[in-house]
Each structure stands twice: as C-alpha cells, then as structure tokens.
Amino acid sequence: MAASNRLVTLNNGVQMPILGFGVFQVPDDQTERVVADALAAGYRAIDTAASYGNEEAVGRAIARSGIPRDELFVTTKLWIQHTGEPTARREFDQSLRRLGLDYLDLYLIHQPLGDYYSSWHAMEKLQAEGLIRAIGVSNFHRDRLVDLVTHNDITSAVNQVETHPFFQRAADQRVMREHGVQIESWGPFAEGRNNLFTNPVLTRIGDAHGRSVAQVVLRWLIQRDVVVIPKSVRPDRMAQNLAVFDFDLTDDEMTSIAALDTGASMFFDHRDPEMVACLGSRRVD
C-alpha cells in the first residue's frame, strides 16, 4: 500500500494520513518548490500554520499539482494574536484564502495561550458549517487538554506536540487516548538536536535493518500510533522519510529506543512564564 494511504481515524470518523509533511522554517521563497517536490514524492498531508508565513506558497503548490482535493489532507493553525471570536473566524477565512482552498481538513489552535476557548467555539461552528473537517490543538499539556475537552461540545481530534526519542510523551499519549485525542508529533527528529542523527542506539538499529536513523525514528513513532510530519527541503530525504512502511522494529528495539527518553523538551516548556510572554507578544502579519 502507498505510504500516503496509511491512515488513522480521528474521533469524528475523519481519516488522516499517519505520515505527512511539515513546512515550518521552509523559507517562503522555497516553499512552493518544496511542497511541489513533496507532493510529487507521494506525500498527501501538508502541515503549515499562519505563523509560518508560507500558506500562499503551499496553496500555489497544491493548485499546480493537479491532485484532486479529496486526496489531500491540509492542516493549518491559528496564531495566539488571533484567538477569540470573531477574530478566529476572520483569520480562518484569511488562511483559507491564502491556501486557495474552500475547506480545510484540520485546523489547530497553535498554542494554549490567549483566549483560545472563544477560538474553540468559533472553530466548532466552522466545523458544523462544513468548512473544516476536524478541529484540534497543538502544544497543549494534559491538564489544558482535559480542561478544554471537559468544557466543550466537540473533543479535540488531534493534539500536535513535540514528540521524538528524547521527549517521548508516553504518559501524555495515554491521557490523549483516554479522551479520544490523536497524538501528532512535531519535530520528530528534534530538528537534529542532541545529535539525534548520529545517536548510537538509533544508528545500531538502523544498521540492523539497512535503514537511516531518520527512518528508524519515523518507524518507531508510527509503531506507537503517532502521526508524523517530518520536514525536509531535499527530495532525496523526502523519499527516504516516506519509505518506512516495509520494515518493523522488534519489541527489543522499541524498548531500546524507549530508554532514550529524557522526559524533557529539547526546545522550551510552554508553561515557562518567560516563554508564555514571549510567544504572546509575537505578531504575525
């Protein structure tokens, strides 16, 4: 089966590819080429965000590809500055316009900051109107996620959180599962931090299968039922990162990787007051 056909079923019945493509930090002037290459390689899910500043370029690549809309799964995210209702609705319209689409597959609250309860209400309405197929959140710690789920009609379909061998989120995943929320990894390679690509445990496992460290990491996440959206600007790596459905990691290998967990972010903690202030002051055009 083609990689793009491997699907997870979200809590409202919508199906989402377990392996997609992320475009964070892809410069705007390269994004159209990069997304065109990713679609040509076989990716069908694209993850962007208003704050990445590249939705228009993503939209141009999608339009150029000629791929039927219903074969694609497009995600974008609402930035903190635009939380609230009706701001969230206005900003959703802007994202849709920039992407050149008439509906979105998944819309996420980018950060658990600002007036995100009001945003959620706006998103619930947009879903009811058929403009978004599924709504979810990103960077929500378990307490914030459970609070949002408890006090609203629609349960978040997805929580996109930093998840990789050094920050594995097993306990978070358990809570998400209890509430029917699909975990999605951002930064599956920790953007290469902590020498991920030369880690001896991952390298040894890769050698045993004739695979790269990147492939081992993606396979390990997929075997844990985690949705992944690796980013690469290089077509050879795009293809490599898609080729992870024809081998299995053994239980022993899964256990060896589990031992790499540090339990801490390789980036920052969304509960750190300085970061909360810093993110909250970031403005997106």
Give the shortest CB-138-to-ligand NDP separation in angstroms.
4
Residue closer to ligand NDP by CB (options 173, 241) is 241
Residue closer to ligand NDP by CB (options 127, 138) is 138
**Residue facing ligand NDP at closest CB distance:** 22
Where does this chain bind ligand NDP (CB under 6 A)? 22-25, 47, 138-139, 160, 186-192, 197, 212, 214, 229-234, 237, 240-241
Backbone dihedral region for residue 100 (phi beyond 0: left; psi -120 to 50: alpha; all else: beta):
left
CA-nearest of 119, 147, 150, 146 to 135 is: 119
Residue closer to ligand NDP by CB (options 25, 94) is 25
Give the shortest CB-279-to-ligand NDP separation in angstroms.
10
Give the shortest CB-125-to-ligand NDP separation in angstroms.
23
Point out the catalytic residue in the list 52, 103, 107, 117.
Answer: 52
Give the shortest CB-195-to-ligand NDP separation in angstroms.
12
Residue closer to ligand NDP by CB (options 33, 252) is 33
CA distance 263 to 118: 32
Give the shortest CB-234-to-ligand NDP separation in angstroms.
4
Active site residue 116: no
CB 216 within 8 A of CB 174: no
Residue closer to ligand NDP by CB (options 69, 282) is 282
Two structure tokens written together for 83: 């939380």
Catalytic residues: 52
